[in-house]
Structure 1
Amino acid sequence: MTIVISGAGIGGLTTALGLYEAGLDDVRVLESVPELRPLGVGLNILPNAVRELAELDLLDELLESAVPTGALEYRNRHGQLIWREPRGAAAGYRWPQLSVHRGRLQAVLARAVRRRLGPDAVVTDARVERFTERADGRVDVHVRHPEAGGRSVTTADALIGADGIRSAVRSQMYPDEGPPPWNGIVVWRGTTVAPPFLDGRTMIIAGDDRRRAVVYPMSPPRGGADGPVLMNWAVARAADPESVFEDADWNRPVPPDAFLHHFADLAFAWLDIPALVRSAQESYVYPMVDRDPLPRWTHGAVTLLGDAAHAMYPMGSNGATQSIVDARVLARELALADTPAAALSAYEAERLPALTRVQASARRRGPEVVIDLAHERAPEGFADPAEVFEPGELESVSAEFARIGGFDPETVNTRPSLAVASPAGGRR
């Protein structure tokens, strides 16, 4: 079985590794950029996805450049603690939650793909533009080579569209969909090398009903236990009414002074967010967008995965996490089903309803709604969260989001493995 994956992001590369692990090694990953480079900012990978990376024998390598997150704290605009919840092993999971630079995670995955499937398994300068379904059930994949020039066609038994929120595969399936809808929120993101805060393994989300700041470490300390770390930060606010984002404005570099005045008061004794942002190595602005849920991801021998299927707002660390789980479910079905079309349909039947619920939860701000509630009920702050929330209210918000996402500890720890043993008994 020949399988073509469009996109060498987190989901596409994990799909290739899952297919190899399941005994399917006629796999090509086509990527539009001329070279894979460690770009991007931070990601949080939840334990349900870290379990999959561990079963692909990647966890030890990832831990060399990631942080096992120990806690997540929600705070108001005064820096007062609303709710603290343990994460990863501290929350009872058998696997950690990882904070990691996206480029480093992608590099680990890409090295593993080339090592296991061969140096030509990832083809760069190969932009999938469209596909043609053949009478025999296979797919002709039409590819443009921007750097080298020219075009080519490759034939596959299955095409996986893992080509992101602006997926060419999705746009052919749904030509009238239009651009991703913007919710009116602007996000600035970046990275800064800085001393660790709190215990060095805590992620914080702070703000009010119009602003958010997210900060977490995503590398081990440099030069010793007390050394600086690579910090991920993101700040967001509702845009001015006249704001318009064009295609060219996506991930546009912007100096911190252009936006820091909106967040000047978020300077706490334990973390000075404006100072952190001002010292950034890089900072970018982009609109907060997602995609509407689809009725179908699969058309014959073609399906969607990750952001191409279910791009969502970054509430709850579900983007890359769910792409990894998608990849493992899809690899399992392709290994077990009688035909590619049957495999893709089974994958969709399992994943689409679940991800539709997660997308809807993200649009409701997910667990971050506790910050909105705290501001609504006590805009000037509080001495104790018990003054603001009913007993058990905060716990129920967190538990409900974990249940919707399928990453509550009991589910993650006890469900059967998604791995499929290859004829060789599993491969690395």
Structure 2
Amino acid sequence: MRIAIVGAGIGGLATALSLEAAGFRDIEVFERSDELRGLGVGINLLPHAVRELTELGLDARVAELGTAPATLSYHNRFGQPIWSEPRGREAGYRWPQLSVHRGRLQLALAEAVRERLGDRVRLGHRLVAVDDHGGGTTATFRTDAGEVAEEADVLIGADGIHSALRALRYPEEGAPPWSGLTLWRGTAVVPAFLDGRTMIMAGDGEQKFVAYPLSAPGADGRQRVNFIAERHGAGAGDADWNSAVDPAPIVELFRDWRFGWLDVPATIGAAEEILEYPMVDRDPLPRWTFGRTTLLGDAAHAMYPNGSNGASQAILDARTLAHRLATEATVEDALQAYEEARRPATAALLELTRRTGPERVMLLARERAPEGFDDIDTVIPRAERERIAAEYKLAAGFHPDSLNEWSSLTVRSAG
């Protein structure tokens, strides 16, 4: 069976590795960029995704790329704590949560693909057309040398929020809708905050700051952190993705956010580079699969970063699709089973991210105590905070009780 994957991001490369582990060998990955440059900043891999990477034999390699946060803590814009919970193994999972640099993870997955499958990533290939036929599909790519046609029994679109395959299937959809929020992301080496293993979110729906370590504190007490600064109404919804911007205006927006345990404007000012992009997502689709083609990752269900689920859900897609292709009687049955397993689940999760997911406690704190509080329990009772946190974990598929007993997606061989 010849399988073509469009996109060499985390989702596409995880799909290639998942297919190889399931026994498939005739796999090609087509990437529109001319080079895999390992761009981006930090991301979080939640325990359900780390479980799948562990079953692929990649856990040690990925763990070397970053660090494992032990706590997630929500604060208001004055730095007062609203809710805190353990993460990863400290929360009872059998697998950790990992904070890593997105680009380093992409390059590590690409190296694993080369080791296990050979040179299967074909750069400079932009998908421009798909022709479905009974036994498979013909994908046409535009390259520097002209257009080339590739035959495949299965074509998987893992080419991100601006997916070419999705656009071919839904040509009237248009650009992703802007939420009205702009994000500025960067990394900086700063004094370790709190215990050096805590991911923090501070602020509310109008303005927010997120920071988490990407390395353990050094001998000098400093560590590399990833941060996301967010503001409603700032920037522009049509801004280019990954465009570098001057940090000074962003520092000014957060000039009063000094918490004692974290100096937010100093952290922003210390960044080597700050990338700006609009906070956008995609509406849920009525179907992902057409004939022998399907969508995966952000191409299928791009969602807001609330809850740190983008890369993790793409990895779950990849593992589920490979498992179904290896265990169902026909390709058609496999693609249907994959979509039935993943599309409703990701649609429900997407809706929760639009309602801010677990970050809802920050909005409630702002709504009920805009000038701060003396006792958070009088503002948001503990039972309400616990319910919000548990609801999101269940929807995202990483509640410890369910994840620890989750059936393995590993298969021994494929036809």
Question: Which category describes the TM-score, using the shorter chain as reference length?
Answer: over 0.9
* Partner residue, 2:40: 40
SS of equivalent to 1:415: coil
Alignment of 1:12-411 (within 5 A): 12-118=12-118, 120-134=119-133, 136-145=134-143, 148-221=144-217, 224=218, 226-239=220-233, 244-246=236-238, 249-411=240-402
1:284 to partner: Cα distance: 1.2
Distance in 2, Cα, partners of 1:172 & 1:157: 18
Measured on the aligned residues, the alpha-carbon RMSD in Å equals 1.4
Distance in 1, Cα, partners of 2:267 & 2:71: 20
Q: Please list every run of at least 4 consecutive aligned residues from structure 1 whose deviation after the TM superposition is greater than 6 angstroms.
A: none
The 3 A distance-change label for structure 1 pair 149 and 219 is farther
Q: Is the 8 A contact 2:182 2:237 kept in 1?
A: no
Distance in 1, Cα, partners of 2:127 & 2:173: 19
Q: Is the 8 A contact 2:251 2:266 kept in 1?
A: no
Instruction: Give the stretch that moved more between structures: 256-265 or 282-291.
Output: 256-265
The 3 A distance-change label for structure 1 pair 144 and 333 is same
Instruction: Give the stretch that moved more between structures: 290-299 or 184-193.
Output: 184-193
Distance in 1, Cα, partners of 2:170 & 2:151: 22
Q: Deviations over 1:304-362 (max 9, x none)?
A: 00000000011001111100000000000111122222211110011000000000000
Distance in 1, Cα, partners of 2:128 & 2:112: 26
Distance in 2, Cα, partners of 1:339 & 1:144: 31
Q: Deviations over 1:231-265 (max 9, x none)?
A: 1101111115xx6433x532211011122222111
1:47 to partner: Cα distance: 0.2
Distance in 2, Cα, partners of 1:228 & 1:30: 40
Distance in 2, Cα, partners of 1:369 & 1:169: 34
Distance in 2, Cα, partners of 1:153 & 1:220: 48
**Aligned-residue identity in percent:** 53
Q: Residue type matched to 1:245 in 2?
A: G
Q: Is the 8 A contact 2:205 2:232 kept in 1?
A: no
Q: Deviations over 1:281-307 (max 9, x none)?
A: 110111110000001010010000000
Query: How many residues are paired up?
Result: 415
Distance in 1, Cα, partners of 2:253 & 2:349: 30
SS of equivalent to 1:107: helix
Distance in 2, Cα, partners of 1:244 & 1:226: 39
Q: Is the 8 A contact 2:326 2:414 kept in 1?
A: no
Instruction: Give the stretch that moved more between structures: 357-366 or 182-191.
Output: 182-191
SS of equivalent to 1:229: strand
Distance in 1, Cα, partners of 2:190 & 2:286: 45
Q: Is the 8 A contact 1:209 1:376 kept in 2?
A: no
Q: What TM-score, normalized by structure 1, do the two folds share?
A: 0.94
Q: Is the 8 A contact 1:184 1:238 kept in 2?
A: yes
Structure 2 gap segments, 5+ residues each: none
Q: What TM-score, normalized by structure 2, do the two folds share?
A: 0.97
Q: Residue type matched to 2:313 in 1?
A: Q
Q: Residue type matched to 1:236 in 2?
A: E
The 3 A distance-change label for structure 1 pair 50 and 225 is farther
Q: Is the 8 A contact 2:206 2:232 kept in 1?
A: yes
Q: Is the 8 A contact 1:310 1:359 kept in 2?
A: yes
SS of equivalent to 2:404: helix
Distance in 2, Cα, partners of 1:31 & 1:48: 27
Q: Residue type matched to 2:366 in 1?
A: H
Q: Is the 8 A contact 2:196 2:216 kept in 1?
A: no
SS of equivalent to 1:267: coil
Distance in 2, Cα, partners of 1:9 & 1:216: 23
Distance in 1, Cα, partners of 2:324 & 2:374: 52
Distance in 1, Cα, partners of 2:104 & 2:135: 37
Q: Is the 8 A contact 2:30 2:125 kept in 1?
A: yes
Distance in 2, Cα, partners of 1:286 & 1:384: 36
SS of equivalent to 2:124: coil
